[in-house]
Structure 1
Amino acid sequence: MSLPMIFLPAMPCDGRLYADQLDGLKDLVSPSVQVLDRKTFGDSAEALLASTSGSFILAGTAYGGCLAMEVLARAPERVSGLWLMNCQPGTHPNPSVVRETSLRIRRGEHEDVIAEFANNAIPADDIASRAAFIRMARDTGADTFARQSDATLTRADHWQTLSTASKVPTLLIWGEADQFVPVEVGTRIARLMPHARFESFQGCGYFPTLERPTLCTKIARDWLMSSVIS
């Protein structure tokens, strides 16, 4: 039986963020998606751990990558592989911005927040990816978006978690045009985890699997076959 691979979407996305990978990797792993929006990152991590047994591979983007690190911190022995994209291992640097974002979503400015998020997350010339993100964000809904925004305030510092994860096969993919989590964060993680494979894409923003789907799937296949399931 194939090893489970759990995809954790960015905020406020769903499984469509990983559509190409879910199809393109299914012959190697058993892929699934979990959209988690518990009150704290710890609660979401525990919910994920309770939902499955044994070992699994984790893939997470942004918010989802932070959740993946929280799971790794709590149950490193169960993580057979780790794929992180455009996520910040530190605590959130701007709590007041988070609180204002949550407030705006709840008071009816959901569409405005989505539009601003899209403008900052994805380069302006990638019209298709922006449109796909906006559809996901609308469908995910204001309640989930606000809860996920709230939960980012509970994000723990996981730089040490990563530095001690030398036995976990790791793939790092970064969009270099990301305005939220700059590529320097990715290169810092790569220096901390010299065993990891690091790839970065010029002109790509916050969502590599959405903006560069075919390339991400190819890299992930190579990584899985060479480092995780070989």
Structure 2
Amino acid sequence: MDPIVFIPGLLCTETLYAPQIVAFADRPLMVADHRRHDTIAAIAEDILAQAPQRFALVGLSMGGYIAMEILRVAPERVARLALLDTSARPDAPEQGERRRVLMDLADKGRFSKVPHLLYPGLVDAGREHDEDLKAVVVEMAMETGPEAFVRQQRAIMARVDARPRLGEIGCPTLVLVGAGDTLTPPHLAQEMHEAIPASRMAVIPGCGHLSTLEAPGAVTAELTAWLGA
């Protein structure tokens, strides 16, 4: 039974995977901390230094960018891969510009506004007014803090195009996306699925970018099937 390493997304903590941590409590688990470094390569190196020798790897959004870097530098250590609500593409110019605006807010002491600005884009349109889910998102952001947020954004903005190496991924891979994910839409998941030879794709209805929290039952079921594949 392979241990599982979960990598959260931008401004997210282990709370992002709370339902899955409960579901897979019979396995050794690790939730990676990606708040200390400002490059994807350094974050991946730090995770590999702490992770079990061989593991199943789950990454959502920013966690997916890091997971693909881990596959690039240490493929022999990854038994299976799950890429949730993420993309293999580098940032587009307009994405970088939006990131800089948010980083500027953080630098000017207005970080508390950031999760509120981000929230509508993180969830399915039907959850835009879900105050309980929004409270979870804000709490994770506050726990992360402005300095780590800026480091994370720098890392994301400088990430490489992972598409050329997707064909080298040989382990069983799940590519999962919320049908209502507007940040990394289903066509980007389809692009990864088509490029990764041993992959299966799942689209979760009624769900946005934070699939593990928005549709925990459906996501956990897909991960359970993936772990048994």
For the criterion TM > 0.5, the same-fold answer is: yes
- Asked if 1:36 corresponds to 2:40, the answer is no
1:111 corresponds to which residue?
Answer: 112
Change (3 A) 1:202 1:52: closer
Supply the distance in 2 between the matched residues of 1:12 and 1:46 (Cα, whole angstroms).
20
Amino acid in the other structure paired with 2:109: G
- Asked if 1:155 corresponds to 2:159, the answer is yes
- Asked if 1:18 corresponds to 2:21, the answer is no
Tell me how far 1:162 sits from its aligned partner.
1.5
| Structural RMSD (CA) | 1.5
Supply the distance in 2 between the matched residues of 1:163 and 1:184 (Cα, whole angstroms).
17
Supply the distance in 2 between the matched residues of 1:151 and 1:103 (Cα, whole angstroms).
16
Supply the distance in 1 between the matched residues of 2:29 and 2:125 (Cα, whole angstroms).
31
Q: Are the counterparts in 2 of residues 99 and 150 from structure 1 also a CA contact under 8 Å? A: no
Amino acid in the other structure paired with 1:36: H
Structural mapping, 1:125-140, within 5 Å: 125-126=126-127, 127=130, 128-140=132-144
1:120 corresponds to which residue?
Answer: 121
Bigger Cα displacement from structure 2, 198-207 vs 65-74: 198-207
Query: How high is the TM-score relative to the length of structure 1?
Result: 0.91
Tell me how far 1:111 sits from its aligned partner.
2.1
Q: Which runs of 5+ in 1 are unaligned?
A: none
Q: Deviations over 1:93-143 (max 9, x none)?
A: 133332222122121221222111101111343213222212211222122
Identical amino acids, percent of aligned pairs = 29
Q: Are the counterparts in 1 of residues 87 and 192 from structure 2 also a CA contact under 8 Å? A: no
Supply the distance in 2 between the matched residues of 1:176 and 1:145 (Cα, whole angstroms).
27
1:222 corresponds to which residue?
Answer: 225
After TM superposition, what 4+ stretches of structure 1 lie above 3 angstroms from structure 2? none
2:4 corresponds to which residue?
Answer: 5
Q: Are the counterparts in 1 of residues 167 and 197 from structure 2 also a CA contact under 8 Å? A: no
Tell me how far 1:35 sits from its aligned partner.
2.0
Q: Deviations over 1:173-215 (max 9, x none)?
A: 1012112111100011111124212111222111110101111
Q: Which runs of 5+ in 2 are unaligned?
A: none
1:213 corresponds to which residue?
Answer: 216
Q: Are the counterparts in 1 of residues 5 and 51 from structure 2 also a CA contact under 8 Å? A: no
- Asked if 1:98 corresponds to 2:99, the answer is yes
Q: Are the counterparts in 1 of residues 105 and 114 from structure 2 also a CA contact under 8 Å? A: yes
Aligned pairs, how many?
Answer: 223
Tell me how far 1:22 sits from its aligned partner.
0.8
Of 180, 187, 190, 2:193 maps to 190
